């Protein structure tokens, strides 16, 4: 036996077939895992859009009570002290996070918009619709969501806007 030399039978590396088997196994694991991760991301984005819609509905209900009737524009929910909202002395507490008050905007793969309804006295709204649709259907989300002054949340199965007119959702929309 040669001391310190190369070429002994125990110094062999991996064969090409062994390496190909390992690469194939890694490919199979990736093919199984990646679609599951994409579905999980879509589910998380949809849950966030539904949660934000519920938040806006709750904030509008609180604004309705604080203003003595009527709903506020989304900017009033984020900053009630603005002119035309509740006004000075309304308190420093916003009804929603300022990031949510920035619409139209994109958050967690969903494009969010706010559609004010007809004026309902003073500068208040009679209703509103808060929309969330996926920026890339099938990748960032699959369904479109909306909520309005009725307190309902509706969805579309193809990721488009929920049918609405004059700041009110179609009463026959698919509800959650």
Classify strands 144-148 and 153-156 as parallel, antiparallel or unpaired. antiparallel
By residue count, the chain amounts to 176
Tell which residue, 76, 71, 171, 83, has the closest CA to residue 127: 71
Residue 37 has a CB neighbour count (10 Å cut-off) of 9
> Which whole-number Å values give the CA distances from 168 to 16, 125, 127, 149, in the listed order?
65, 11, 6, 8
Q: Does pTM surpass 0.85?
A: no
Residue 51 lies in a domain: yes
Residue-number span of the structural domain to which 73 is assigned: 14-175
Q: Which of 95-99, 109-113, 142-146 has the lowest mean pLDDT?
A: 95-99
| pLDDT: which is higher, 23 or 92 | 23
The three-class DSSP label of residue 112 is: strand
Tell which residue, 146, 167, 145, has the closest CA to residue 71: 167
DSSP assignment of 67-113? HTSSB--HHHHH-TTSTTTT-TTS-S--SS-TTTTS-SEEETTEEEE
Residue 54 lies in a domain: yes
Tell which residue, 81, 69, 166, has the closest CA to residue 122: 69
Residue 3 lies in a domain: no
The three-class DSSP label of residue 168 is: strand
Residue 9 lies in a domain: no
Task: Report DSSP state, residue 10.
Answer: G
**6-30 residue pLDDT tens:** 555 666 788 999 999 999 999 999 8
pLDDT of residue 91: 65
Residue 7 lies in a domain: no
The total domain count for the chain is 1
**114-130 residue pLDDT tens:** 999 877 555 678 899 99
Give the HSE-up count for residue 84: Cα atoms under 13 Å, Cβ half-sphere: 9
């Amino acid at each position: 036996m040669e001391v310190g030399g190369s070429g002994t039978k125990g110094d062999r590396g991996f064969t090409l077939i062994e390496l190909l088997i390992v690469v194939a196994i890694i490919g199979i694991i990736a093919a199984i895992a990646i679609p599951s991760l994409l579905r999980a991301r879509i589910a998380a984005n949809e849950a966030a859009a539904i949660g934000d819609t519920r938040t806006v509905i709750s904030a509008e209900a609180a604004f309705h009570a604080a203003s003595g009737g009527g709903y506020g524009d989304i900017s009033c929910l984020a900053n009630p002290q603005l002119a035309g909202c509740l006004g000075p002395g309304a308190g420093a507490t916003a009804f929603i996070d300022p990031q949510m008050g920035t619409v139209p905007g994109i958050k967690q793969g969903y494009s969010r918009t706010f559609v004010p309804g007809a004026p309902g006295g003073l500068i208040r709204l009679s209703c509103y619709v808060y929309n969330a649709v996926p920026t890339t259907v099938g990748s960032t989300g699959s369904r479109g969501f909306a909520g309005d002054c009725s307190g309902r949340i509706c969805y579309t199965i193809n990721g488009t806007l929920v049918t609405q007119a004059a700041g009110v959702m179609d009463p026959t929309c698919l509800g959650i």
